[in-house]
Structure 1
Amino acid sequence: MKITKVETHLVSAPLAHSWETGIGSAKQRDELLVFVHTDEGITGIGSSYHAHAGLAMKAVVDTKVAPAVIGLSPLDIGAIWEKLFYGTVYIGSAGVQGLAGIDIALWDILGKVSKQPVATLLGGGGVEYVTAYVGCMSLGFKAHDKLVEEAQGYVSEGYKALKIRGGAGVKQDVAAMRAVRKALGDDIDLMIDVNARYSWPEAVDLSKRLQELDTYWLEDPFDFSIPNHHDEVGKLRSMGLTPIASGGNVYSRFDYRNLLERGGVDYLTPDVVKSGGFSESLKMAHIASAHDCIIAPHTLNGLGQVANLHFAAAVPGHIRGYVEWDPTSPNPLRDELMTNPVKVKDGKLYVPTGPGLGTDINPDVLKRLQASGSHEIAMQARTRRWNT
């Protein structure tokens, strides 16, 4: 079996309402789909992170990543991963995110050939479901009564953990968390993600204030805590304040090693569409296992959520945490684009049991959702109290 063609499609669907966060406003969902075709008629599907620059990432896959795999055996997954990783070193994290879609598609092919779910091939056999927390494009900036109403709706659906979007300002973030905590009581795990919006002193201040609200975690607390400043993340954690989560934008096992060895975090949040696909994400989970650090997979849209569900099932059980999930509707990338959408009940995500990823792409919906090239989130400049 040989790879004959790699095809990419950037898809997009409008949101019913604008989603407001500290990094900007979103009016749509985007996903970069990757199709790996073979000479035996088997096609694997994958997803590469759009990086809020979908056309640029499509070009990375089309012009840099895809040509390197034509003519290779799709079953040589490890060798292909190394070829792509070291062959894209000069474009940094864009290369890792670009090759993720290829890697996911290759595992999908292996599953289809062997007639096994990817979760089983990765070592997650026997895991029927994983537990979700509500995240992604939910619980953004809004009036407290509306935020509480949204949160209560998810709890009524059976979810036991929710993530509020922060970054509006330390006092505003605490007030939003307090309103939701008061409404939901003490039995719901409540997180906050501030999307790296704060200076060091603001992050420390926020972490102190969040303790009184029994905050489950504070995610990406300060500027550059996403790809850099591993020492400072560890320093904040060592202060024993609110537990720290990070890793959704840390792209390889080498970065994870640094993040953990320099003080670490309480929760690591890899995403297979960002972190080099299944092959690299599983290595990152094993590094976390050696450090006894919880893995709580980050997810995005559509096929990426399906892929992360297979990955979550394969995370060693003693460190498997919540899995991010977007229950907001309408969501055609989740409900219409997939021929076999993920089954959800009482906050549990059921691992697909069909061969490969357990789903294919609906070609009619794929045509309908072709993206125009605008970005999911128009990123905005950082501001501070003293320059606003």
Structure 2
Amino acid sequence: MSHLSKRTRIANIDVSAYRVPLKKPWVSAAHAITHHEHILVEIELENGVKGVGWTSTMGNAGLAVTALAKSYLAPMLIGRSVYEHEILWNNLWRRSHQPGPSGIASLAVAAFDLCLWDLRGKLAGMPVRHLIGGESDKIEIYASAVNLHLSEKALVEQTREFLDAGNRKFKIKVGRPNIDEDLSRIAAVRDVIGDLPMMLDANQRFKPGEALQRINAYARFNPVWMEEPMASDDAGSHARLAAVSPVPIALGEEVSTRFEFWNYVSAAAVHYLQPNVLKVGGISEWLKLAHLGNCANLFIAPHGALEASVIVAPAIPGCFSVENIDGGSFVDQGIAFETMQIKDGEVTLPTIPGLGVEFDMATLASYRVDFDIEVPLADPSKYYDND
């Protein structure tokens, strides 16, 4: 082992979970979300340098992720060099593969991967985006919201607020039971934003025939994409849909492994590839998936996870704007200090070494959870406002 690796061996690891309430509920065609659960991994090297990584769920299964990370994965890293990141990633993923290689497993691996990148950035004295090939200090974002429950009037007001804040791209939810409601809502948003780009997201709401029917109806509003029209497990139906859809298909939010992404890419089942940094196992794997998409000449559009997506997006030439979900950032949730500035549809990125996120640990402490809590399931219907 080299002198360098001896100085940068992992000495201590701490894993903790926090259940943070959203200021306003998120309601889509699939879920009602009232909390986010954040799992933090803190690693200290033998030379005293400390790093922090994270992963998040939308209020579901965070404790399962925490248990996997703390009891099974963390012990594997003690004594290893922070520079062995590819070997360590594969070891963590293999340990997680037998009970299930995606979902909870990928989320757990992501927290360690982000932490290891944070450490390498701090050791190098530069932001992680520079280490992975991204030089830009400012990138474009698009305004997004989980807003299917809002009345049309409230949706229009929200969209106008996004426009007035300087945003120039917008995404809204679709999937109301009555297609006419969807069409009226889309038309109302189009009236507000004019010819500016608009994306639609159904959160896997439709069956194949219904998906095509809806998309054909939505097409006259010229959406940039139709996101997750059907169950994300069904690559075959997406391939058949993509071949005839008048609107490009986007997905990747609930696809976790390179093999699942390959099924979509090889079947020509997607046009905008949307890997989520946290759900695919971290920065290391996200970059591989972005290059996979590039090999197929697809658009790469990071999904959610704002603080992680702004790190990887600058490293991919032609990457689509980063999603900024209303109320979803760490600053919006009140659990991190403002290290990047969002203004006029752009984010100015932090220049501090590492990942660039500084958590407010004092505030987070009040949201810390252990394994003896009961988490109720929220009913989406109670949040709908049709006035």
- Distance in 2 between residues matched to 1:97 and 1:358, nearest whole Å: 20
**Which piece of structure 1 moves more, 170-179 or 246-255?**
170-179
Q: Does 1:185 align with 2:190?
A: no
**Which piece of structure 1 moves more, 346-355 or 171-180?**
171-180
- Distance in 2 between residues matched to 1:256 and 1:265, nearest whole Å: 10
Q: What is the 5 A alignment of 1:330-369?
A: 333-334=331-332, 336-369=334-367
Match of 1:40, SS state, is coil
Aligned to 2:324: 325
Q: How many residues align?
A: 368
- Distance in 2 between residues matched to 1:33 and 1:4, nearest whole Å: 17
Q: What is the 5 A alignment of 1:120-269?
A: 120-125=130-135, 127-135=136-144, 137-169=145-177, 170-186=179-195, 188-222=196-230, 224=231, 226=232, 228-269=233-274
* 1:147 partner letter: L
Deviations 1:57-111 (A, max 9, x none): 1111112221211221122111101111122111221222210110010000000
Deviation at 1:334, TM superposition (A): 4.2
Kept in 1: contact 2:14–2:41 (CA 8 A): yes
Match of 2:262, SS state, is helix
* 1:7 partner letter: D
Deviation at 1:182, TM superposition (A): 2.1
Gap change, CA 1:168 and 1:242, over 3 Å in 2: same
Q: Does 1:82 align with 2:104?
A: no
Kept in 2: contact 1:313–1:351 (CA 8 A): no
Aligned to 1:104: 114
Gap change, CA 1:368 and 1:341, over 3 Å in 2: farther
Gap change, CA 1:374 and 1:121, over 3 Å in 2: farther
Gap change, CA 1:62 and 1:133, over 3 Å in 2: same
* Match among 23, 28, 31 for residue 35 of structure 2: 28
**Which piece of structure 1 moves more, 75-84 or 91-100?**
91-100
- Distance in 2 between residues matched to 1:146 and 1:179, nearest whole Å: 11
Aligned to 2:311: 310
Aligned to 1:45: 52
- Distance in 2 between residues matched to 1:370 and 1:27, nearest whole Å: 16
- Distance in 2 between residues matched to 1:142 and 1:379, nearest whole Å: 15
Gap change, CA 1:314 and 1:20, over 3 Å in 2: same
Match of 2:256, SS state, is coil
* 1:306 partner letter: E
Kept in 1: contact 2:36–2:56 (CA 8 A): no
Gap change, CA 1:377 and 1:191, over 3 Å in 2: farther
- Distance in 2 between residues matched to 1:287 and 1:376, nearest whole Å: 39
- Distance in 2 between residues matched to 1:140 and 1:14, nearest whole Å: 19
Question: Structure 2 length normalisation: TM-score?
Answer: 0.89
Question: Structure 1 length normalisation: TM-score?
Answer: 0.89
Aligned to 1:270: 275
**Percent of aligned positions that are identical:** 27
Kept in 1: contact 2:171–2:200 (CA 8 A): yes
Aligned to 1:115: 125
Deviations 1:205-250 (A, max 9, x none): 111011111111111101x2x2x22122121111041111001111
Structure 1's unaligned 5+ residue stretches are 382-388
* Match among 12, 15, 18 for residue 19 of structure 2: 12
Gap change, CA 1:114 and 1:84, over 3 Å in 2: same
- Distance in 1 between residues matched to 2:358 and 2:154, nearest whole Å: 36
Deviation at 1:371, TM superposition (A): 4.3
Q: Does 1:297 align with 2:302?
A: yes
- Distance in 2 between residues matched to 1:109 and 1:334, nearest whole Å: 25
Deviation at 1:378, TM superposition (A): 4.0
Structure 2's unaligned 5+ residue stretches are 1-7, 382-387
**Root-mean-square deviation over aligned CA pairs:** 2.2
Deviation at 1:254, TM superposition (A): 2.1
Match of 2:351, SS state, is coil
Deviation at 1:166, TM superposition (A): 2.0
- Distance in 2 between residues matched to 1:260 and 1:16, nearest whole Å: 37
